[in-house]
Structure 1
């Protein structure tokens, strides 16, 4: 199915609640692996890295955005090993919800303990082509079934049709646990609210978008354009 048609058909359901301090040299030389330090903020973001890092980077991403998938696939190892590991940069992943598929995956990435989030996040972007090929091939009857379903079962139908359960089951999650996460209406509305708040706060118009030390980077939308911004700020 044409991507534009799919997006238009899915958009009808989005309204259902989807509507620093400089790093001290002693810290950098400590040998601590800051990629193992994660937390979840009150506004729903997931942080990785040194809380006192010189650079605080927020990544606004969508799980149905191919450019977000490319960014994550290209930057993941380089970002973690080259910038986060030794405490220079702290990153936060923020959801920007565009459609019900986005919301389905956001609910799944947030399933379980917050320490699982970044592994869940990478797992989905590494399988982007698999689930989006299924989404593009969805029939009008499938999309109508998703749209017509009540909120507590809508995302379970999408997860089943697009093979999303298997991605999480491979990470050790049980189907019953995933179903509870996908039918959590309060979490659904919380993620939708946080998505809208982040987008409005920084005037974000597309994904991926990056906010560095509280300021939107208007010309950075890929790893090739973000990396120079990080290096210039760090004086590398």
Structure 2
């Protein structure tokens, strides 16, 4: 499971602290929480798999590489599993990428998610190679300008150009403080409900302890699908 990078963590901590307080009704445990992510597959699937992910989590990227297509084709498409992606946002870069993944029509999300996850090694390497002067831009100015600087330095504008996104469209999505607060609030709800790391999984609202990769998840899914 992932660890938070030190130089990116401070701004998100402030964002989480400033997020609206969660009421008792909103902070329901995973067993009773309504859908708060993006569903891949059928609403009436035999079971609902919640996948808690962070875009800056290498294990999450590995899971997408290893199991993303299989989940869609062999589990979601036949109606066995509805896969709900839930963002567990850990740092400002993660938040920036989540805003990009949610940019545009809801139907765009599944492909946006896969593209961003599969390209993670490249854009993470670009951030690791940034200079002190570049990193200073992530800590000054508006929230929007900080996130836009992160996205540019990571090469995310170029990456999403291939998905048909213009710089102006990405600027608007990255600057969406309302969505940023929603993602921060949901992250806190998930943490309060017992989700401690990524990737983590729940089936029909019940967290799967000790299940954090495809090798552990696949037998659980197959045992529920096979007669």
TM-score normalised per structure 1 = 0.84
Superposition map of 1:34-49 within 5 A: 44-49=36-41
TM-superposed deviation, 1:139: 2.4
Match of 1:15, SS?
helix
Superposition map of 1:33-182 within 5 A: 44-182=36-174
TM-superposed deviation, 1:43: 5.6
Aligned structure 1 segments of 4 or more residues deviating by more than 6 angstroms:
none
**Whole-angstrom CA distance in 2 between matches of 1:130 and 1:175:** 20
Change (3 A) 1:43 1:142: farther
CA radius of gyration, larger in: 1
Superposition map of 1:3-14 within 5 A: 7-14=5-12
2:13 paired residue number: 15
Q: Which residue, 173, 182, 203 being the options, matches 1:212?
A: 203
**Whole-angstrom CA distance in 1 between matches of 2:206 and 2:78:** 23
Match of 1:80, SS?
helix
1:226 paired residue number: 217
| Structure 1: runs of 5+ lacking an equivalent | 20-40
Change (3 A) 1:86 1:109: same
TM-superposed deviation, 1:163: 0.2
The answer to whether the 8 A contact 1:152-1:183 is kept is yes
Match of 2:49, SS?
strand
TM-superposed deviation, 1:204: 1.1
RMSD: 1.9
Match of 1:92, SS?
strand
| Structure 2: runs of 5+ lacking an equivalent | 18-32
Once the two structures are superposed, residues 66-106 of structure 1 have per-residue CA deviations (whole angstroms, 9 ceiling, x without a partner) of: 00000011111211111111101101000011100000000
The answer to whether the 8 A contact 1:18-1:97 is kept is no
How many correspondences in the alignment? 211
Once the two structures are superposed, residues 112-131 of structure 1 have per-residue CA deviations (whole angstroms, 9 ceiling, x without a partner) of: 01000011000001101110
**Whole-angstrom CA distance in 2 between matches of 1:220 and 1:161:** 34
**Whole-angstrom CA distance in 1 between matches of 2:185 and 2:177:** 12
Higher relative contact order (CA 8 A, sep 6+): 2
The answer to whether the 8 A contact 1:44-1:94 is kept is yes
